[in-house]
Amino acid sequence: MKDLNIIAIIMFLVFVLATLSITYWAAKRTKTAKDFYTAGGGITGFQNALAISGDYISAASFLGISGLVFLKGFDGFIYSVGFLVGWPIFLFLIAEQLRNLGKYTFADVASYRLKQAPIRILAAFGSIATVLLYLIAQLVGSGKLIEILFGLPYEFAIVLVGLLLMILVTFGGMLATTWVQIVKAVLLLCGASFLAFMVMVNVGFDFEKLFSSAVNVRGSINIMSPGGVVGDPISAISLGIALMFGTAGLPHVLMRFFTVSNAKEARKSVFYATGFIGYFYILTFIIGFGAIVLVSKNPEYLDIAKGVLLGGNNMAAIHLSHAVGGDFFLGFICAVAFATILAVVSGLTLAGASAISHDLYMNVFAKENASEVDEMKVSKYATIGLGISAIVFGIAFENQNIAYMVGLAFAIAASANFPILFLSIYWKKLTTRGAVIGGTLGLATAVVLVILGPIVWGQIFYGDESKAIFPYKYPALFSVTVAFISIWFFSITDKSDSAKREIEAYDDQYIRSQTGIGAEGTC
């Protein structure tokens, strides 16, 4: 794909036009803050499920996991399973309570009976950190991808995605973001289904044949069993915790639960989303093995000198689309990959902007002095600010190893956002002091351990993973533990009057969280 792929470019332009039309349509319907943050609360459970799946199945996830399966076989599957198991737990324990207590952001829930200012500042900080890290990681990945797919220069690609996302979010708000996400999720699910279907056609719908051909091509049976991706038990458990609890702390996913009209729709959306995401991960497994069989020995897709895939292992699904569907299908998958990037970064930016405008500006700094119009204005400025910072960081980080950023985003989500959210719902004795100190310590532990860990301290500072001070790639086991223990300790030792009031307020909060009586949007 060194030459410009005309079909890909045409499909790409069609998608950009479609995005702009959706934005135009949505802009006319986005008038109030509620419209802007939650699409007016009028999204159905099924639509929300597609949008959640869209947020979840990012380009990193589609190309990254199929690439990992292509490279390591079974090990790629460990990630798929881990990414999915967070969902049911989230539904059972958090989704409904979140909806019943909150309005636009998860900080609404955490600060329900605690002090507004400190909790909102901490929650906003956790949200913005998660969003920005995730955003930069997605953007750098997307710049590289667009460079390879469409032959566009890296900086141009970053600026293009950045501009589009600013237009989309500023004018179209949550409604446009959701619909772009839905369109993309449908395209991606169809594209991936077709890819997997063609792989199965090639092996005569015989799984044994698919796997045995892959083993033959690779010349090793190791791809069929767990290997080195998660080497030691501590890393394995830690990764598991980050994936499981990180999901329940990602602000752009949490925010989606306020876009549906009631608890029934919210629950339905988790069920459908779990189905879509689970189905999708099974497809990526087939796609990864299909790529081993159909792509890895074809000189057309290889960098012969290095003996690796053109563009790296993450291109496995892209090359496979050409191998089974020719130029046309390749163009389609490239355009879908682009759509995926745009949709995910838009959702992230919107979540970050709402943390700034709704949590920081409206509830901490301006308070009663600001109107809804002001809040909307601030959220639009915040969107533009986040968009510009993402472009600047995206260009600055071009040649950095950004793999740690996604890990860090999940670690922060799991060790700062999740414990506060979870305990504010379930633990009566939580106090502001406990939440603020514990949440901050959890966040700090996650950041420090990632910096001292194998990728940043080892690889980036010393060029050798074994030089790391902290030996594990995934800090969640430690940072989540630190967060929970310190929240507990600093809450039970808090004997102030305000703490007493906060504990007393739990009983009423509990009834609202369980029944939805008094919740937003009900009478």
Partner 1 sequence: MNKEIYKKVRNNPKFSKLVKKRSGLAWKFSAIIFIAYYSFILLIAFSPETLGQAIGDGVITVGIPVGISIILLCIILTGIYVKRANSEFDKLIDDIKDDVRFDT
Shortest distance in whole angstroms from residue 267 CB to partner 1: 5
State the minimum distance, in angstroms, from the CB of residue 177 to partner 1.
Answer: 25
Residue 371 three-state SS: coil
Our measurement of the distance from residue 231's CA atom to the centroid of its chain's CA atoms, rounded to an integer in Å, reads 25
Q: How far is the CB of 283 from partner 1 (least distance, A)?
A: 11
230 lies in the binding site for partner 1 (CB under 8 A):
yes
Q: Any long-range contacts for 331-335 (C-beta under 8 Å, 24+ apart)?
A: 331/5, 331/6, 331/7, 331/8, 331/9, 331/10, 331/11, 332/7, 332/11, 332/187, 332/191, 333/191, 333/195, 334/5, 334/8, 334/11, 334/12, 334/149, 334/150, 335/8, 335/11, 335/12, 335/14, 335/15
Q: Which of residues 79-98 bind partner 1 (CB under 8 A)?
A: 80-82, 84-85, 87-89, 91-93, 96
- CA distances for 72 relative to 85, 189, 436, angstroms: 21, 23, 41
Residue 66 structure tokens: 């199929």
Between 207 and 461, whose beta carbon lies closer to partner 1? 207
Q: Which stretch binds partner 1 (CB under 8 A): 48-56, 59-67, 276-284, 489-497?
A: 276-284
CB of 523 to partner 1, least distance (A): 10
Q: Supply the minimum distance, in Å, between the C-beta of residue 96 and partner 1.
A: 8
Contact segment (CB under 8 A) with partner 1 among 33-41, 262-270, 427-435, 487-495 equals 262-270
DSSP secondary structure code for residue 205 in this structure: T
489 is an interface residue for partner 1 by CB under 8 A: no
Among 65, 129, 244, 425, binds partner 1 (CB under 8 A): 244
DSSP code for 309: E
Nearest-approach distance from CB 114 to partner 1, in angstroms: 18
CA angle 516, 519, 520 (to 5 degrees): 140
Number of other residues whose CB lies within 10 A of the CB of residue 3? 6
Q: Choose which of 137, 195, 253, 270 interacts with partner 1 (CB under 8 A).
A: 270
One DSSP character per residue, 129-160 reads HHHHHHHHHHHHHHHHHHHHHH---HHHHHHH
**428 interacts with partner 1 by CB under 8 A:** no
Residue 335 interacts with partner 1 (CB under 8 A): yes or no: no
Q: Which is nearer to partner 1, 84 or 131 (CB)?
A: 84
Q: What is the DSSP letter of 460?
A: I
Residue 215 interacting with partner 1 (CB under 8 A): yes
Residue with tokens 């600001």: 370
| Sole binder of partner 1 in the list 103, 267, 428, 429 (CB under 8 A) | 267
Where does this chain touch partner 1 (CB under 8 A) — which range of 148-156, 260-268, 376-384, 405-413?
260-268
Q: Give the tokens for residue 282.
A: 């099974």
Query: Interface with partner 1 includes 136 (CB under 8 A)?
Result: no
**Contact present, 241 and 476 (Cβ < 8 Å):** yes
User: Is residue 29 near partner 1 by the rule CB under 8 A?
Assistant: no
CB of 66 to partner 1, least distance (A): 15
Per CB under 8 A, the segment of 20-28, 104-112, 237-245, 442-450 that binds partner 1 is 237-245
Q: How many residues bind partner 1 (CB under 8 A)?
A: 54
Determine the interface stretch with partner 1 among 73-81, 144-152, 327-335, 382-390 (rule: CB under 8 A).
73-81
d(CA 344, CA 136): 12
Q: What are the CA-CA distances from residue 456 to residues 229, 269, 488 (Å)? A: 18, 38, 31
x/- letters, 171..210, toward partner 1 (CB under 8 A): ------------------------------------xx--
Question: Judged by CB under 8 A, which of 16, 159, 217, 282 binds partner 1?
Answer: 282
Site for partner 1 contains 257 (CB under 8 A): no
Structural tokens at position 226: 């767990």
Q: What are the DSSP calls for 92-129, one per residue?
A: IIIIHHHHHH-SSSHHHHHTSSS-HHHHHHHHHHHHHH
- Nearest distance from residue 380's CB to partner 1, in Å? 32
| Residue 374, C-beta contacts closer than 8 angstroms, at least 6 positions apart | 361, 366
Q: How far apart are CA 149 and CA 131, in angstroms?
A: 26
Interface with partner 1, residue 291, by CB under 8 A: no
Tell me the closest approach of the beta carbon of residue 266 to partner 1, in angstroms: 10
What is the per-residue burial (b if ≥16 Cβ within 10 Å, else e) of 493-504?
ebeeeebeebbe
Shortest distance, CB of residue 505 to partner 1, whole angstroms? Answer: 10
- The span from the CA of 302 to the CA of 63, in Å, is 17
Residue 516 binds partner 1 (CB under 8 A):
yes
Answer for the pair 421, 249: CB distance below 8 angstroms, yes or no: yes
Of 152-160, 225-233, 334-342, 377-385, the window that binds partner 1 (rule: CB under 8 A) is 225-233
Residues at the interface with partner 1 (CB under 8 A)? 74, 77-78, 80-82, 84-85, 87-89, 91-93, 96, 207-208, 211-212, 215, 221, 224-227, 230, 232-233, 235-237, 239-240, 244, 263-264, 267-268, 270-271, 274-275, 278, 281-282, 507-508, 511-512, 514-518
